[in-house]
Structure 1
């Protein structure tokens, strides 16, 4: 399967590097630069979920998890570990390519340093671009940087795009279907757990009180 996906994606113009186990993949990741990682959950040595956690210690590179089952256990664990999206095997190549393209668009739309470190020492001023402020939370939409009480917050491209979507509609309830469409680029009904778990990650970084759950409807950013 690894070889077949490598060949198929190279036909779409992607340059691929493959590893047969998690530890080899971690070494490859540490020694080279990648625009996106595809991690199979069932990897020998170090599984995909553990590998994703290790990657997130130093990098915000987009991560697509590949699971062999759709019962939710692997999906939730992978998303909680920091993955941006997932597909369930067996998966058609065109579906895999669609998810890859969506993740790469997000990374281009919301650039962040690969190391996860901010490039400035403090919050932006009004003259440096459009700045959105929600209490102690400040978002520089020009520099694509987020500050909490003046300190930079490292967000993955997906987390940043989700926050920007909330910030564009402060106080407005956004349902999961809308967020899947506008943030994850799903042209069909996707798995709402992707939204829920990404919101949880944002809350851990920004504070639980900033994104409110409106039961039965969705989420909103408090004004």
Structure 2
């Protein structure tokens, strides 16, 4: 069985040690960094499958580190912060985070969220192996499910695994309206959670920023007010 490598980035050594214990007990291999700068260095040296990233850190904070990581990698990122306001969560997700937890947190809940993200990754890998070579073409938007690649007018777009999964879901069911709960269930592979509405909406907004020429008047991902989202036939 392949070892799953998780990078824990936090300037608090006690939090790093606690997470190391819990993650090791789940069978994961843990790599630690005390700030964003060290995390970026480790990403060049190690194969990392998931990152737990604190926001408030010296040298290079979590938001800045997340932006740098997203320039070249779609690895799942769960962000940690002492700030619990919705705006802070939306900011973290907007910068490329896949999930967000507020300190203090229950390590067992974090483990559960890690497993959701890793299942999402595995689902993408299995899907890419299982389907025949093929693409979904919607005007100038091309989604290649085999190679996990998205282009708009020939320009390759870098998406996170969650963003790709949402886009593939809507594009594979053109004309069908998906409400937020259904998107969350299909993509995150779990039932509705209290934070799911903001989470889905932020990822939809990020997707539009990346693939739409005018995100305020989207060509691809349409809002059906009071219902959900769809990509037209």
Same fold (TM over 0.5): yes
Alignment coverage as a number of residue pairs: 207
Unmatched segments (≥5 aa) in structure 2: 1-14, 126-131
Structure 2 residue 31 is matched with structure 1 residue 17: yes
1:11 deviates by: 0.6
Q: Choose from 52, 55, 68 the match for 1:38.
A: 52
> Conserved in 1, the CA contact under 8 Å of 2:120 and 2:189?
no
Tell me the CA shift for residue 37 of structure 1: 0.7
Q: In 2, distance between residues paired with 1:129 and 1:58?
A: 24
**Distance in 1, Cα, partners of 2:121 & 2:186:** 14
Question: Residue 227 of structure 2: which of 200, 209, 217 is its match?
Answer: 217
What is the TM-score of this pair, normalised by structure 1?
0.85
Alignment correspondent of 1:138? 142
Query: Which has a greater percent of strand?
Result: 2
The whole-number CA distance in structure 1 between the counterparts of 2:189 and 2:80 is 18
Q: CA RMSD in A?
A: 1.8
Corresponding residue number in structure 2 for 1:203 = 208
2: distance between equivalents of 1:143 and 1:52? 24
SS of 1:17's equivalent?
strand
159-168 or 28-37, which deviates more? 28-37
TM-score (normalizing by structure 2): 0.81
SS at structure 1 position matched to 2:206 = helix
Matches of 2:94 and 2:82 in 1, distance apart?
Answer: 17
Query: 126, 133, 142: which is aligned to 1:129?
Result: 133
Instruction: Judge conservation of contact 1:41–1:74 (CA < 8 Å) in 2.
Output: no
| Displacement of 1:74 | 2.3
Alpha-carbon shift at residue 109 of structure 1 (Å): 2.5
DSSP-derived class of the 1:43 partner: coil
- TM-superposed deviation, 1:85: 1.2
